């Protein structure tokens, strides 16, 4: 039992006659570990990118709401009336009338 442990510590399994099988397995495990690490990094990068995009969406949505509310304020009749009053234009006292044209067949 102790001999087997010392053989592993000394690395005899890498230089013995059937070491080719061991080397293939070690290279396979190394390659598998590299692929796992690369996959983990890729997934983490995507998670960070998704978080950044979510923040951008929140910012753009709040900017949209802010701009829409300011536009609504600008379109109000009272706002237009005050801006036009500065230029000397005021709303009409008489309401508009509808003109209907009948076509003869």
- Mean pLDDT for 20-32 is 87
- For the ranges 34-38, 74-78, 95-99, the maximum mean pLDDT occurs at 34-38
> How many whole angstroms separate alpha carbon 28 and alpha carbon 22?
10
Q: Which residue has the tokens 């005021």?
A: 90
Tokens at 72, concatenated: 């609504």
Domain ranges within the chain, ordered by starting residue: 2-86
User: What pLDDT shows up at residue 36?
Assistant: 98
The answer to whether the beta carbons of residues 12 and 3 sit under 8 Å apart is: no
Q: Which residue has the higher pLDDT, 20 or 84?
A: 84
Residue 65 confidence (pLDDT): 97
Q: Taking the CA atoms of 31, 34, 36 and 38 in sequence, report the sign of the dihedral they define.
A: negative
pLDDT of residue 59: 97
């Amino acid at each position: 039992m102790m001999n087997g442990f010392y053989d592993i510590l000394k690395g005899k399994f890498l230089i013995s006659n059937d070491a080719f099988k061991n080397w293939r397995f070690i290279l396979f495990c190394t390659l598998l570990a590299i692929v796992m690490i690369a996959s983990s990094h890729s997934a983490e990068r995507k998670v960070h990118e998704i978080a950044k995009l979510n923040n951008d969406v929140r910012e753009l949505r709040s900017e949209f709401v802010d701009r829409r509310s300011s536009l609504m304020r600008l379109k109000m009749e009272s706002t237009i009336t005050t801006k036009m009053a500065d230029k000397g234009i005021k709303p009409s006292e008489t309401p508009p009338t509808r003109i209907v044209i009948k076509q003869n067949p």
